Amino acid sequence: MLGSHIDTVISAGRYDGCFGVLAALEVIKVLNEKKIETNSPVVVASFSNEEGVRYQPGMLGSSVYSGALNLADAMNIAGVDGSSYGVELERIGYAGDMRPGEIVPGAFLELHIEQGPILDQEAIPLGVVEGVVGISWWEVVINGSANHAGTTPIEMRRDAGLAAAKLVERIREIAVKVGGDQRSTCGMIKYFPNAINVIPGKAVLTVDLRNSNEAGLAEAERQLMACSKEIEKSENVSVEVKMLEKVSAVEFDKNVLSTLEQVAASLGVQSRRMISGAGHDAQLMARICPKARIFIPSIGGISHSPEEYSSPEALANGGNVLLHTLLSLAGIDEKNQTPE
């Protein structure tokens, strides 16, 4: 019997996405060391630009692979530094010649840290993810009038920076008003000209809205529009609200979920079902194949931060569940097994 073969996953548990890839490589290493052949081939996939920091939208590689985004359109995307996604992929040697969707997996497994506090708080070592929240990303551009900070009377100001600040407060309130698992965040802001003695004439900010319930997400979007209109009037500025990206809520494959739960139970690893608040490549891959996601605890629920941490034991648990679920889904070719 195979048992638990992954004692260590080569990862400090930082940074979130790295862990899944390293665990997948560890699984391949175990298969090779144990000379295990599976009935279905196993592929390790790491999609580029999942975070969407340098190029927007995020989940870019999996969007193209799953057919949600056209390849040529993706290659033409300009980054925040003015660079071209396509040119940069060529430069680093990552623009391969495999066609998007060329391999359609029988099942897709994604191992990830929770990036939330639930497993850590409840001391449960494994999360079986049933689905992912819907996400909508927005850019808000506010135009007022740049003017001298020392001389311009308050009643004459059209302060785009102040309007942006008021909108940031209203964005937070959206989560409170909509309730449920609604989240609402302003993560980026920029003032123009951004000088200490100049009233900002322009401000740009982003909004991240998420909800597992599509009606709730639609209500959050409606509130974003409404408070933008209010601030446009009260601050005498113009406010443009533009959608950057929208990903619908996704439910994962029930059969893969059952397999995951059975494997975890057989390894003695307690698990619970949960919804993922973070979008990932998995929800794009769900367009073309059955898929599921495995969560391990994030200490303190912290992620996207230098303080992000998951224990070596948590990493090994995740790796072992990944290994055995993969073996269950891919099937072991018994004829080629080396006797133990």
Chain residues in the site for a second copy (CB under 8 A): 51-53, 56, 58, 114-117, 133, 135, 137, 145-154, 156, 159, 161-162, 164-166, 168-169, 172, 175-176, 183, 185-191, 193-201, 206, 208, 210, 244, 276-279, 301-307
Residue 227 or residue 327: which is nearer to a second copy going by CB?
Answer: 227
CB of 254 to a second copy, least distance (A): 23
Residue 36 or residue 199: which is nearer to a second copy going by CB?
Answer: 199
Residue 189 or residue 218: which is nearer to a second copy going by CB?
Answer: 189
Residue 200 or residue 319: which is nearer to a second copy going by CB?
Answer: 200
Residue 95 or residue 309: which is nearer to a second copy going by CB?
Answer: 309
Quote the CA–CA distance of 242 and 207 in Å, as a whole number.
10
Quote the CA–CA distance of 302 and 316 in Å, as a whole number.
19
CB of 164 to a second copy, least distance (A): 8
CB of 234 to a second copy, least distance (A): 12
Residue 194 or residue 337: which is nearer to a second copy going by CB?
Answer: 194
CB of 55 to a second copy, least distance (A): 11
3-state secondary structure of 276: strand
The alpha carbon of 18 is separated from its chain's Cα centroid by a whole number of angstroms, namely: 13
CB of 115 to a second copy, least distance (A): 4
Torsion of CA 284, 287, 289, 291, to 10 degrees: 50
Quote the CA–CA distance of 221 and 205 in Å, as a whole number.
15
CB of 230 to a second copy, least distance (A): 15
**Cα-Cα-Cα-Cα dihedral sign, residues 91, 94, 97, 101:** negative
Quote the CA–CA distance of 277 and 275 in Å, as a whole number.
6
Q: Catalogue the E-assigned strands of the chain.
A: 108-113, 126-132, 134-143, 147-148, 183-185, 189-192, 198-199, 202-211, 238-247, 250-251, 271-276, 291-296
DSSP at 300: G
